[in-house]
Amino acid sequence: MSASIALPGFADPVGEAQATFRAVLDAMARPGRPQQAGERLAAPAPLDPATAATLLTLIDNETPLWLDHSAVPARDWLAFHCGAIIVDGPERATFALALSLPDLTTLSAGTHEAPESSATLILQIAALGSGTRYRLSGPGLREPTLLAAAGLSREFTAAWQQNHALYPRGVDIVLCAGTTLTALPRSVSIEEA
């Protein structure tokens, strides 16, 4: 009931959620390949359209969501449009929203019996397609591919190697910037190029 819900969600809830779901699915299947999402969405500050569209599509009242402190201004909007249950501890979340790289070890990595119960991190960064270049390889990539991303911290590759080593456990990341998103499933190995 807060006055801070200033913006609507998807204009076409079914069509746009399906299109965004498809984009996330394709992104997970082809790590590092950019996909478009949220072009028609007015996202609440501080979120970018792709981030907001991904959240509207994936979050509901059965997926506990953790927000890093810089994402808190979008809290009311997420609670209203997604019905999101916002949790205080990252270890209890199935989705995490962050505007800077959090400590991946604090997120749920799942168990060997149920690796699918791990958390998915939705990470908004400054830009995709420019900035530091990373070489990705692994399932879904016939040959290693390059991903350029600006705004990932210096410790990212080390943190990712630690996460990748947990396979089949581990955290998956959806990177969002502007209206572009791309995914880094736990199975992909990343090194700076």
Partner 1 sequence: MPDALSPDQPHVARRRWMAVLARADAAELSDALGSNGSLPEYRVLRGPEAGLVMVRGRTGGGGAPFNLGEMTTTRCSVRTDSGFVGHAYIAGRNERLAELAALADAMLQDPASQSRLLTDVVEKLAAAQQVRRDATASKAAATRVQFFAMRNMRT
Which residue ranges make up the site for partner 1 (CB under 8 A)? Answer: 1-3, 5-9, 13, 80-81
Judged by beta carbon, residue 81 or residue 164, the one nearer partner 1 is 81
Please state, in angstroms and rounded to a whole number, the distance separating the CA atoms of residues 128 and 74. 22
Nearest distance from C-beta of residue 127 to partner 1, angstroms:
30
Nearest distance from C-beta of residue 57 to partner 1, angstroms:
16
Instruction: Give the CB-side neighbour count of residue 71, counting CA atoms within 13 A.
Output: 28
Judged by beta carbon, residue 2 or residue 18, the one nearer partner 1 is 2
Those residues with Cβ within 8 angstroms of residue 1's Cβ, 6 or more apart along the chain or in another chain? none
Judged by beta carbon, residue 46 or residue 83, the one nearer partner 1 is 83
Cis-peptide into 46, omega within 30 deg:
yes
Please state, in angstroms and rounded to a whole number, the distance separating the CA atoms of residues 185 and 82. 24
Nearest distance from C-beta of residue 8 to partner 1, angstroms:
5
Nearest distance from C-beta of residue 93 to partner 1, angstroms:
24
Please state, in angstroms and rounded to a whole number, the distance separating the CA atoms of residues 65 and 189. 26
Judged by beta carbon, residue 10 or residue 160, the one nearer partner 1 is 10
